[in-house]
Structure 1
């Protein structure tokens, strides 16, 4: 393809609105739907999440083919159809590959996925979607696609929704990407986790990091202090986003904080929270695969900004398009 063709491909690339919808459908939606339709102790599998991506691919291809047809003219030739299909295939492959990378390295859910089958099996769906998009756009009347101030409202709404969904997505992704959850056996505080004679006593077998888990519906932001013989009290570090759903039928646990010790031995734990009946237990730190294991420690403002990126891109794109239209000779900007 020559330089002019590549420029058209760039203009055909889905805009921020399509990007926001794609991210919503392929990442938060599978995790949230699974959470709402399955038992809490069940973990989502990567193959299930990828089905959402495969289902979204033909819609994306239709959007790309329609934009290609709009930019290149509504020609009724075989070459025009082929060009629309090729453009849709290339751009859909980028989106599909990016989502597969998310589930491979960022949120590596449990289970096994046939990555090559997903990639090559999506090709017929892309072709069908591109054909539909080409036919729909060919039959439409061409209208000016000027940016209006509604883009700012849309961008603001998408940014707020994305920020709220980002926190839930990280939490559910961390829960589904947990490779190992060790037994909780080193001590506890609270009426539902320890006997009165052992309340707050910890017996830590080795130096290193340990996790504090909230039992059931205990508050996720306790003020916990760990004290050892001859050592000053240290505050446990709270997790920004507490992954839960650990445990079994007897009880559920959420990882809410962690602390480090330099020596094995006996320690004491004291936790204060808004619920006087809350119970907390100490155990091994869950092993969370992928980058989501680090995201649970990020500042909450960073998680919100990460989720707000699609909405911010919509607002920035609106600014760019309105500025370009103002600079055009004799052009009027729609309100």
Structure 2
């Protein structure tokens, strides 16, 4: 491919704004929508999440085909249609592949799905959307380019929204990616598990790592300490993004902290929280599948930065366009 073709590919791509929209529609939106419209004890299926990606594919492919046709200046012809559809379908298939990878290895929700069937259906939908986008690209409608100022504003807004949505997305993803789980109580502290204001007794059957669960609406940032079998007030490690909705009709639990013990035996647990009536119980670690099981332990600042990346890319693109315009000796920008 020549330089002109690569440049056309760059201009035909949805760009950082399109990428941000795709991420929002295919990852946070399915998780947030399901959480808002279903009962907390229902598990989201991976197939329902992938439907969002499939539904968004025709719009993505149509946009790419229209931009490609407009940038390459092709006239109405059979070859022009085929090239536009091929380019848009391949690019859209790459976006779909990333979404499928997310729901297979990062956030593997409950249920199974025919991955090859999803890929074939996605390619068909992308080709259909590209065929519609091609004649749109042939139109003579004049399109204004976003000014640099608008790019900065949009990028900042997207970055802020990403910072807010990233922890929620990871929490919901961890909850949805947890295998069937009902905490086994080995003891606890608080009115629900033991006497209020007094250390709770733990009977742990083996050495290793255990989870501390907040019962009901107990604060998710307790200062919990474990004593016994050679441990002198060992502090439990807080979970940065505590997944919840575990348990049953009697009570719900959120995994808020973890600790290790060197051997089985009897231990004492004390937890200090903003609510003196809060209860905490100890059980096995939730079996969270996929990479999201590690993401919940990442520092909050790292998660916020991860969420801000799409917005920062929009800002970086605005800076790049401004520098390119300045390098060409300036130019009249079209606002809107």
What is the TM-score of this pair, normalised by structure 2? 0.95
Q: Go from structure 1 to structure 2 and tell me whether the alpha carbon gap of 1:114 and 1:263 turns closer, same or farther (over 3 Å shift).
A: same
Q: In 2, are the aligned partners of 1:182 and 1:283 still within 8 Å (CA)?
A: no
CA–CA distance in structure 2, aligned partners of residues 193 and 260 of structure 1: 20
Q: Which residue matches 1:221? A: 221
CA–CA distance in structure 2, aligned partners of residues 308 and 69 of structure 1: 32
CA–CA distance in structure 2, aligned partners of residues 297 and 251 of structure 1: 24
Q: Which residue matches 1:116? A: 116
Q: In 1, are the aligned partners of 2:212 and 2:282 still within 8 Å (CA)?
A: yes
Q: Count the aligned residue pairs.
A: 335
Deviation for aligned residue 1:204: 0.6
Residues 198-248 of structure 1: CA deviation (Å, up to 9, x unaligned): 960001111000000001111100111111044311010000000001011
CA–CA distance in structure 2, aligned partners of residues 140 and 171 of structure 1: 46
1:131 has 2:131 as partner: yes
Q: Which residue matches 1:16? A: 16
Q: In 2, are the aligned partners of 1:223 and 1:272 still within 8 Å (CA)?
A: yes
1:61 has 2:41 as partner: no
What is the DSSP-based 3-state SS (H/G/I as helix, E as strand, rest coil) of the residue aligned with 2:185? strand
User: How large is the Cα RMSD of the aligned pairs?
Assistant: 1.8
Deviation for aligned residue 1:329: 3.8
- Structure 2 counterparts to residues 201-220 of structure 1, below 5 A: 201-220=201-220
Q: Which residue matches 2:26? A: 26
- Structure 2 counterparts to residues 164-313 of structure 1, below 5 A: 164-181=164-181, 183-194=183-194, 200-313=200-313
What is the DSSP-based 3-state SS (H/G/I as helix, E as strand, rest coil) of the residue aligned with 1:212? strand
CA–CA distance in structure 2, aligned partners of residues 228 and 49 of structure 1: 45
Deviation for aligned residue 1:184: 2.2
Residues 85-110 of structure 1: CA deviation (Å, up to 9, x unaligned): 00101100110000100001110111
What is the DSSP-based 3-state SS (H/G/I as helix, E as strand, rest coil) of the residue aligned with 1:42? coil
CA–CA distance in structure 2, aligned partners of residues 185 and 216 of structure 1: 15
What is the DSSP-based 3-state SS (H/G/I as helix, E as strand, rest coil) of the residue aligned with 1:68? helix
CA–CA distance in structure 2, aligned partners of residues 258 and 193 of structure 1: 17
Instruction: For structure 2, list consecutive stretches of 5 or more residues without a partner in the other structure.
Output: none
CA–CA distance in structure 1, aligned partners of residues 303 and 330 of structure 2: 43
Q: In 2, are the aligned partners of 1:62 and 1:131 still within 8 Å (CA)?
A: yes
Q: Which residue matches 2:51? A: 51
CA–CA distance in structure 1, aligned partners of residues 142 and 219 of structure 2: 56
Residues 122-149 of structure 1: CA deviation (Å, up to 9, x unaligned): 2221122112222223224244536421
Q: In 2, are the aligned partners of 1:146 and 1:321 still within 8 Å (CA)?
A: no
1:152 has 2:157 as partner: no
What is the DSSP-based 3-state SS (H/G/I as helix, E as strand, rest coil) of the residue aligned with 2:112? coil
CA–CA distance in structure 1, aligned partners of residues 7 and 74 of structure 2: 18
CA–CA distance in structure 1, aligned partners of residues 83 and 295 of structure 2: 41
Q: Which residue matches 1:36? A: 36
What is the DSSP-based 3-state SS (H/G/I as helix, E as strand, rest coil) of the residue aligned with 1:287? coil
Q: Which residue matches 2:89? A: 89
Deviation for aligned residue 1:16: 0.4
CA–CA distance in structure 1, aligned partners of residues 68 and 334 of structure 2: 24
Q: In 1, are the aligned partners of 2:183 and 2:246 still within 8 Å (CA)?
A: no
What is the DSSP-based 3-state SS (H/G/I as helix, E as strand, rest coil) of the residue aligned with 1:233? strand
Q: In 1, are the aligned partners of 2:93 and 2:126 still within 8 Å (CA)?
A: no
CA–CA distance in structure 2, aligned partners of residues 193 and 300 of structure 1: 30
Q: Go from structure 1 to structure 2 and tell me whether the alpha carbon gap of 1:260 and 1:334 turns closer, same or farther (over 3 Å shift).
A: same
Residues 32-77 of structure 1: CA deviation (Å, up to 9, x unaligned): 0000111111111100000001000001001101110111115111
Instruction: For structure 1, list consecutive stretches of 5 or more residues without a partner in the other structure.
Output: none
